């Protein structure tokens, strides 16, 4: 059987080769009627574009890289889901690459990745999205990049974020509204900008309701279940014990819930517990965790989509947006007894 080429599609559809190329690359300057006609021919001829030829013709690899360093497997899965959705819609491939932020060879690692994979662009997830040394390296190499969940909105970078500070304010205010005044807080990983943003929201909510901040109620975590368990021991051993705990993510909150239950404490009657992110664990355990729904998949999808658009059509004004978070109340929080 003779191989179907882009020339075959153009001839069969009665359009130019350039028009077929524009449809393939999902470019905007094609009428809806023409686009539909070409897509119909793709289907009729069972045309599959050659990715190597496509890349050579446009001097692109059609690969987006996504780097991460995060102890939460759930978070990374949600990041991948959003990134893959954007890549599939735009006929791109996704390369997931784990790195260590504090590793001595980070920049060398990224440089080798760029050389070996010929990436068209990179998506920076926390904590890389706020790591100045890496951002400056990408700028120097003229590698397009997009930030996910960055605390810094720069004028020269694509950035899609969620308002972590506001979300933490809302969940702390929710606990205060239930009558809690002694609210413990577990911080996240020190390298993540969200850690400070969520801590700030917690403190602002206390201040706005006239509740004095008590640093003895604050524990250091790192977004892992293990760190949540260590923090929980300290919190539950304190006297007087706080009536509520707000952990900076759901995995740490789940660890608090487990230890509280092991100590025969009733949740939420004896102690209320809240998390952040609305990870699957928040709704799979009992009692279900009150939390903040952070649109991780949507943030990543928009960041990758805008990065691909920028690669194809560089724009002077970068895309920057802050998505809304949402308070999800479940059975782990209740009125103070």
Residue 236: count of CB within 10 angstroms of its CB: 18
How far is residue 118 from each of residues 62, 66, 235, measured CA to CA in Å? Answer: 9, 13, 49
30-34, 41-45, 235-239, 328-332: which range is least confident on average?
Answer: 41-45
pLDDT digits (tens, 9 = 90+) for 2-12: 567 778 888 88
Q: Supply 173's token pair.
A: 């205010």
> Mean pLDDT for the chain?
89
CA distance 192 to 203: 18
Residue pair 217/244 in contact by the 8 Å Cβ criterion: no
For the chain, give me the number of helices (H) and strands (E)?
13, 12
pLDDT digits (tens, 9 = 90+) for 302-319: 999 999 999 888 776 778
Is 43's pLDDT higher than 60?
yes
The region, left, alpha or beta by phi > 0 then psi within -120 to 50, assigned to residue 86 is: alpha
> What average pLDDT score do residues 12-32 get?
80
Q: Find out whether the peptide bond into 240 is cis, omega within 30 degrees of 0.
A: yes
> What average pLDDT score do residues 329-335 get?
97
Statement: the pTM of the whole predicted model exceeds 0.85: no
Residue pair 121/146 in contact by the 8 Å Cβ criterion: yes
Identify the pLDDT of residue 58. Answer: 54
CA distance 117 to 92: 13
pLDDT digits (tens, 9 = 90+) for 70-91: 667 788 899 999 999 999 998 8
The region, left, alpha or beta by phi > 0 then psi within -120 to 50, assigned to residue 25 is: alpha
pLDDT digits (tens, 9 = 90+) for 236-285: 999 999 999 999 999 999 999 999 999 999 999 999 999 999 999 999 99
**E strands, the chain, in order:** 63-68, 93-98, 121-124, 145-148, 158-162, 183-186, 218-219, 244-247, 272-274, 291-293, 320-323, 326-328
pLDDT digits (tens, 9 = 90+) for 170-204: 999 999 999 999 999 999 998 888 999 999 999 99
What confidence tier does 153 reach under pLDDT thresholds 50, 70, 90?
low
Give the contacts of 288 (CB within 8 A, at least 6 positions apart): 282, 330, 331, 332
Identify the pLDDT of residue 10. Answer: 82
Sign (positive/negative) of CA torsion 108, 112, 118, 121? Answer: negative
3 state DSSP class of 328 = strand
The most confident of the ranges 100-114, 119-133, 140-154, 251-265 is 251-265
3 state DSSP class of 240 = coil
Identify the pLDDT of residue 144. Answer: 93
């Amino acid at each position: 059987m003779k191989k179907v080429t882009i020339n075959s599609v153009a001839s069969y559809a009665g359009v130019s080769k350039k028009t077929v190329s524009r449809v393939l690359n999902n470019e905007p300057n094609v009428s809806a009627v023409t686009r539909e006609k070409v897509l119909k021919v793709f289907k009729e001829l069972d045309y599959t574009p050659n990715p190597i030829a496509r890349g050579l013709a446009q001097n692109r690899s059609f690969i987006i890289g996504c780097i991460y360093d995060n102890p939460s497997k759930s978070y990374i899965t949600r990041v991948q889901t959003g990134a893959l959705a954007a890549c599939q819609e735009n006929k791109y491939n996704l390369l997931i690459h784990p790195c260590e932020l504090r590793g001595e060879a980070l920049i060398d690692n990224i440089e080798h990745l760029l050389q070996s994979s010929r990436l068209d662009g990179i998506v920076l997830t926390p904590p890389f999205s706020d790591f100045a040394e890496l951002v400056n390296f990408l700028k120097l190499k003229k590698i397009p990049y997009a930030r996910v969940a960055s605390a810094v909105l720069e004028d020269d970078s694509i950035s899609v974020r969620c308002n972590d500070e506001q979300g933490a304010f809302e969940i702390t205010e929710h606990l205060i509204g239930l009558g809690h005044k002694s609210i413990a807080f577990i911080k996240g990983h020190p390298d993540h900008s969200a850690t400070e943003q969520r801590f700030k929201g917690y403190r602002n909510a206390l201040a706005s309701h006239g509740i004095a901040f008590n640093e003895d109620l604050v524990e250091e975590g790192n977004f892992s279940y293990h760190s949540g368990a260590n923090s929980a021991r300290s919190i539950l051993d304190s006297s007087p014990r706080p009536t509520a705990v707000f952990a900076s993510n759901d995995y740490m909150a789940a660890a608090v819930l487990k230890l509280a239950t092991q100590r025969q404490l009733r949740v939420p009657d004896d102690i209320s517990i809240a998390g952040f992110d609305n990870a699957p664990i928040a709704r799979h355990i009992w009692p279900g965790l009150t939390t903040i729904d952070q649109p991780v998949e949507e943030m990543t999808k928009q960041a990758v989509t805008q990065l691909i658009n920028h690669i194809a059509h560089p724009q002077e004004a970068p895309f920057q947006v802050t998505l809304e978070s949402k308070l999800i109340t479940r059975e782990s929080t209740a009125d103070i007894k």
